[in-house]
Amino acid sequence: MLTALVFAPTAVALLLLGLPRRTPSAAFRTIWVAVAASELVLVIVLWSGYRNGAGLQYEVRARWIPSAGVGYHVGVDGLSLPLLALTCVLFLACAVHSLRETRRVREFAALFLFLQTTCLGLFVSLDLILFFVFFDLSIVAMYFVIAGWGHKNAAHAALKFFLYTFIGSLALLLGFIGLYLAASPNTFDMVELTEQNPLAGRSVYAALVLLAIGIGLAVKTPTVPFHTWLPPAHTEAPAAGSAILAGVLLKMGTYGFLRIAMPMLPDVWRRYALVIVVIGVVSVVYGALVALAQTDFKRMIAYTSVNHMGYILLAVGAAAAVSEGSEQARTLAVTGAVTQMVSHGLLTGALFLLAGVLYERGRTYDMGAYSGIAAKAPAFAGMTAMAAFASLGLPGFSGFIAEFQIFTGSLGPRPLATAVSLLGILLTAGLFLRAFQQIFLGPLRLPDTPGTPRVFPDIRLHESAAVVPLLALAVVLGVAPRFLLDVIEPASQAVLELLAR
Amino acid sequence: MSTLLWALVGLPLVTGMLLLACGRTVDRFAPAVALGVGVADLGLAVTAAFQRPSASAPLLDQLPVQLGVDGLSGLMAVTVTSITLAVLAFSATEFGANEARARFFGLMLLFAASMLVTVTAVTLPVLLMSWEIMGATSWALIGFWWREPVRVDAANTAFLTTRTADLGLYLAAGAALASGQAGTLGLDDLGRAGEPWLSVITAGIVTAAFGKSAQLPFSFWLSRAMQGPSPVSALLHSATMVVAGAYLLLRTGPLLDASGWGSEAVAWTGAVTAVALGLVAVAQTDLKQLLAASTCSQIGFMVLAAGSGAITGGALQLVAHAAAKSLLFLVAGAWLTALGTKALPALRGAARRYRTAGVTFTAAALTLAGLPPLSLWAAKDVLLSAALGSSPWLYVTGLAAAVLSAVYGAKALWFVWRPEPAVEQQRYDTEQHGTRRVPRSAGPPLVLLALGCIALTPLTLQPLRDHVDLVLDSTSQPQPHGWELALSGALALSAAGATWAWADRTLALPSPVKNWCRDWLTLERVAQKLVVRPVFWLARTAAAFDDRILDQCIDGAAYSTLRFAVWTDHTVERAVDDAVGATAAATRALGRLARRPQTGQLHQYLAQAVAGLTVLAVVFALVR
């Protein structure tokens, strides 16, 4: 079932490429939306069959390269299931949002379907090499999305994105090989490696492996100081590409921390937890500050991603501080981290799609070029206001549920760091209010560069059909998060048990 | 039972969101729907106050949402819903067809709903949720007329200032969980935490309360919040938002006591705010600004009550002030609509011109001034007698603030009851174009509020006050002695009388002091200078660092790699290539050399063989 979920999009993508050239582009769009929708249905079926707290489920094992200890091993648990669902939701939203796309639709759809396979595949992988393959293929697919459908300087930004994250992935591979060599018998299987804990008691070796894996994941997440590929990639990418990049691809990094680094390297993770916490706090504050100074709407959102990912690092670092009676707090922190991944995916996805709506009408992301467009586009303004307030952590939206758990859980183990990172939610509040005021409120002014359409129509049906479900989900998670937390909580307890070894 | 409570908070919440979602298409029905919800919710609140329901729903891991109604929250719920109803009724007449009524009434309902959740919250997470939603809704309401940047700026200031203080609640929640003593983070359990967490919790709660209640040093946001529509001010200043902080402090009295320092800090901050912002109110020349400063000052009394443990006094002060202040703002709003101004000198004779508004305004202003026998007079004495129990200085400070209340109350009254100028004033229409009429339908809510103001008076006096004690479960509250009542009454009357007599004479104070007071103690400018500007500087510096140094380093690394590649191509590659070429050339030379002896002539080969064999023989001989 998982295999079908993962590879069906690629199969359809190949099919699309095989169709005759004269096929109308509407057919491609329809197929794309239909596949994305059926993937979502599949994941819902998966979710409904999932038994909370019963560990890995839907496991599939197959021989792949047995001589090198590499196997095809997939499965889901409470950490990966929410991310699978998020991936399917976001890809469907992007498919709907791109219903008016006219440039090389067939290739665009095929690329996104392939990208969906790599994302889903990464989250279900239970083998390090399989994980690595999907990790790298996602970079390749995203490179083509940015370079092929991006704005003016897309080629440069795409190259930077590719090289930077590719180097990160090489560091990751180095770390994986380090784990492989330490295990006996040698294996890349995640479940076996987690059980073996092969680097227990080998301090220098383990520290080097953690460093390699840490850098690899930190580049992808991204955390300060490895984040500089993110703003240009986002500014140049098309809206749907940005939404997937921020919504799903960034989660690969943080997911790796929870799936690989924490359970497989518990000793050394605990020893260097303070470093993780510091990187997290620096990302939170620095990301928010730099975002505050931006004049480009999309660049600003990109930097808030650095800020939001920082909270996750803070939580996973703080959760390593093992002390008596802190189980509840640490579970909250880890659950908050996973919730934050889902929440950030929904909200930043929505924000980037909305940024696409803005660009489509004004042909610029420069906030100074706009003013008072709420008068022309009230529904668009209302949705952006919702997304902005949700993103600044307003209760009633998923962001609050995530951040409140992270803060409450992390304060006990790391009081100072958590107190400092609280400033992050204040700074994000400031920057979102400023941006919203600049673009939407005040007297009406539209950008008047040559080539800009004269009228500024309100959000169209297909655009709101993409954005509204994301916001609605964020509200549902913000008000009644139990259905998600029931899935995550046992998994985060399991991670903490593995970490405490 | 729990259905009642869910309905109480859910009805305005859901209706408000629906109105917002539907937008301008439902403008026509919005006022009627909102009024209907207001009436129903008032009924629900009264029922809840008697039945005292509680409700619970799971939220986070072992941290459920818990709501409950007890004496204090029941009283609060009734206050919130009744004031909301009055304000909604007034707004229905104020907001014409050209305004976005669905948005306005939706936001007002949402605002009231979040206040209702705040007052019925039993656990910290749900309190924090409603607390912040209230802040965000206030942003949308203050910036309701969003086309004017100054109003949106004011909204931003209000939201960011209160959110700064709200961080205290996040801190308190984390600390409570870290202490391991707080169970489900119930508000009543917070005091059981051990040090150092206890102090963190207290500091967090107190900061958040001060921010919301616009106590020092956060008071300035309330001055800016005047940019919102008048009904918003009427609701925000009376039964919601600003009193939330005071309510939270009244609610967490045990925590303040347990911390050892909390009570005293809270009591003194309240007292100092009451005096300082009282002075600010006296110095104002704008009616709405005067009323705003007086709100801070009056809430200072409630905070003082919370710090002195005077639950009854604080609650009575809260309820009585809510009725008076909402009425004052509504009338100020009605005059603003009619005359286009809210400057005190321009409002001369406004009360004579519009009698209903004038008379109701007078009832509220007299209450605000704390003149006997009206409700705020005795309510203040109840809480001040508790202050006297803890420190005579606190009592004296409180009395001074009470005197200031009489002064600013009388000052506002004096202006609006002056004889109307004979000719139509040039000073009208400074803010907006006045309609020169107060609609007839605005009368009923004003009259009802005025009656409420007066009807609350007996509650503050014996024997009814004992019943209030019972309802609030706050027995053994200190009771004011007769002399205290007489003293404060006499002081209030004489201060009000003196103000009335000398109202148009300026006080002989140096003008810097006056300007300082008029400018709300320049708190906002200080905050701009000490916080906002450094943050922006830091942001710009960080962004420059990010672009010019960090990113350049990465690009530099990439370019260096490229240059290294070129260098390798030019230098190393050439060297290797040259070496290979040289080897080839040498081999070729050797080959050429080897070709030489091969002449094809037999005698030469023979000579070579002889020479070779000779060499071999010599070597053989030597080696042996």
d(CA B286, CA B236): 18
Structure tokens at B234: 């009427």
Q: What is the pLDDT of residues B326-375, one digit of tens each?
A: 999 999 999 998 888 888 888 888 888 888 999 999 999 999 999 988 99
Q: Are B129 and A396 in contact (CB < 8 Å)?
A: yes
Residues of A in contact with B536 (CB under 8 A): 292-293
* pLDDT, average across residues B144-156: 94
Cβ–Cβ contact A407 with B under 8 A: yes
C-alpha angle with apex B505: B500 to B507, nearest 5 degrees?
105
* pLDDT, average across residues B394-416: 93
d(CA B327, CA B235): 10
d(CA B94, CA B307): 39
Residues of A in contact with B159 (CB under 8 A): 429, 433
- Cα-atom radius of gyration of chain A, to the nearest Å? 22
Query: pLDDT band at B462, cuts 50/70/90?
Result: confident
Q: Name beta bridge partners: A296.
A: A366
d(CA A398, CA A473): 8
Return the residue of B nearest to A444 by Cα. Answer: B147
Cα→Cα distances A191→A75, A131, A186, A387, Å? 10, 13, 13, 38
Q: Domain-by-domain residue ranges, chain B?
A: 1-122, 146-518, 528-616
- Are B597 and B604 in contact by the 8 Å Cβ rule? The answer is yes
Q: What is the pLDDT of residues B192-236, one digit of tens each?
A: 888 889 999 999 999 999 999 999 889 999 998 888 999 999 999
For an interface test with A, which of B14, B20, B60 has the most A Cβ atoms less than 10 Å from its Cβ? B60
Structure tokens at A287: 């990301």
Q: Name beta bridge partners: A366.
A: A296
Cβ–Cβ contact B129 with A under 8 A: yes
Three-state SS string over A159-191 comes to: HHHHHHHHHHHHHHHHHHHHHHHHCCCCCCEHH
Q: Are A485 and B61 in contact (CB < 8 Å)?
A: yes
Q: Are A290 and B147 in contact (CB < 8 Å)?
A: no
- Compare B422 and A103 and report the one with higher pLDDT: A103
Return the residue of B nearest to A395 by Cα. Answer: B129
Cβ–Cβ contact B578 with A under 8 A: no
Residues 159-178 of B with CB under 8 A from A: 159-160, 163-164, 167, 170-171, 173-175, 177-178
Q: What is the pLDDT of residues B605-620, one digit of tens each?
A: 888 899 999 999 999 9
Residues of A in contact with B148 (CB under 8 A): 442
C-alpha B284 chain-centroid distance:
23
Nearest to A328 among B61, B139, B540 (CB): B61
* Closest-CA distance of chain B to residue A286, Å: 7
Q: Are A164 and B554 in contact (CB < 8 Å)?
A: yes
For an interface test with A, which of B101, B114, B170, B201 has the most A Cβ atoms less than 10 Å from its Cβ? B170
Structure tokens at A41: 């249905």
pLDDT in tens, chain A (501 residues): 899 999 999 999 999 998 888 888 888 999 999 999 999 999 999 999 999 888 899 999 999 998 888 999 999 999 999 999 999 999 999 999 998 888 888 999 999 999 999 999 999 999 999 999 999 999 999 999 999 999 989 999 999 999 999 999 999 999 999 999 998 888 999 999 999 888 888 889 999 999 999 999 999 999 989 999 999 999 999 999 999 999 999 999 999 999 999 999 999 999 999 999 999 999 999 999 999 999 999 999 999 999 999 999 999 999 988 666 678 889 999 999 999 999 999 999 999 999 999 998 888 999 999 999 999 999 999 999 999 999 999 999 999 999 999 999 999 889 999 999 999 999 999 999 999 999 999 999 888 766 666 688 899 999 999 999 999 999 999 999 999 999 999 999 999 999 988
Nearest to B546 among A290, A382, A394 (CB): A290
Which residues, other chains included, contact A57 with Cβ-Cβ below 8 Å and sequence gap of 6+?
A49, A50, A51, A75, A76, A77
Nearest to A418 among B132, B174, B180 (CB): B174
Residues of B in contact with A442 (CB under 8 A): 146-149, 152
pLDDT at residue A54, as a whole number: 86
Residues of B in contact with A374 (CB under 8 A): 146
Residues of B in contact with A485 (CB under 8 A): 60-61
Cβ–Cβ contact A418 with B under 8 A: yes
d(CA B256, CA B262): 5
d(CA B203, CA A171): 45
Q: What is the pLDDT of residues B479-519, one digit of tens each?
A: 888 898 999 999 999 999 998 888 766 566 778 888 888 88
Q: Which residues of B364-395 are buried (b: 16+ CB within 10 A; e: fewer)?
A: bbbbbbbbbebbbbbbbbbbbbbbbebeeebb
For an interface test with B, which of A162, A408, A477, A489 has the most B Cβ atoms less than 10 Å from its Cβ? A408
| Dihedral angle computed from the Cα positions of residues A217, A223, A228 and A229, in that order, rounded to the nearest 10 degrees | 30
Cβ–Cβ contact B556 with A under 8 A: no
Give yes or no for residue B427 having a pLDDT over 80: no
Query: pLDDT band at B182, cuts 50/70/90?
Result: low
Residues 480-539 of B with CB under 8 A from A: 535-536, 538-539
Cβ–Cβ contact B39 with A under 8 A: no
Return the residue of A nearest to B549 by Cα. Answer: A228
pLDDT at residue A155, as a whole number: 93
Three-state SS string over B123-163 comes to: EHHHHHHHHHHHHHHHHHHHCCCCCCHHHHHHHHHHHHHHH
ipTM of the complex as predicted: 0.93
Which residues, other chains included, contact B80 with Cβ-Cβ below 8 Å and sequence gap of 6+?
B45, B112, B115, B116, B119, B239, B240
Q: Are A378 and B23 in contact (CB < 8 Å)?
A: yes
For residue A374, give the 3-state DSSP assignment.
helix
Q: Which residues of A174-184 are buried (b: 16+ CB within 10 A; e: fewer)?
A: bbbbbbbebbe
Residues of A in contact with B61 (CB under 8 A): 328, 331-332, 335, 405, 485, 489
C-alpha angle with apex B157: B235 to B231, nearest 5 degrees?
20
Cβ–Cβ contact B606 with A under 8 A: no
Which residues, other chains included, contact A21 with Cβ-Cβ below 8 Å and sequence gap of 6+?
none
First to last CA, chain A: 33
Residues of B in contact with A400 (CB under 8 A): 129, 132
Structure tokens at B201: 């919790």
Query: pLDDT band at B180, cuts 50/70/90?
Result: confident
Helix axes B311-339, B464-471, angle to 10 degrees: 100
Residues 13-32 of B with CB under 8 A from A: 20, 23-24
B314, amino acid identity: G
Concatenate the DSSP letters of all residues of A97-109 into one string. Answer: HGGG--SSHHHHH
Q: Are B149 and A418 in contact (CB < 8 Å)?
A: no
Sign of the alpha-carbon torsion through B215, B217, B223, B228: negative
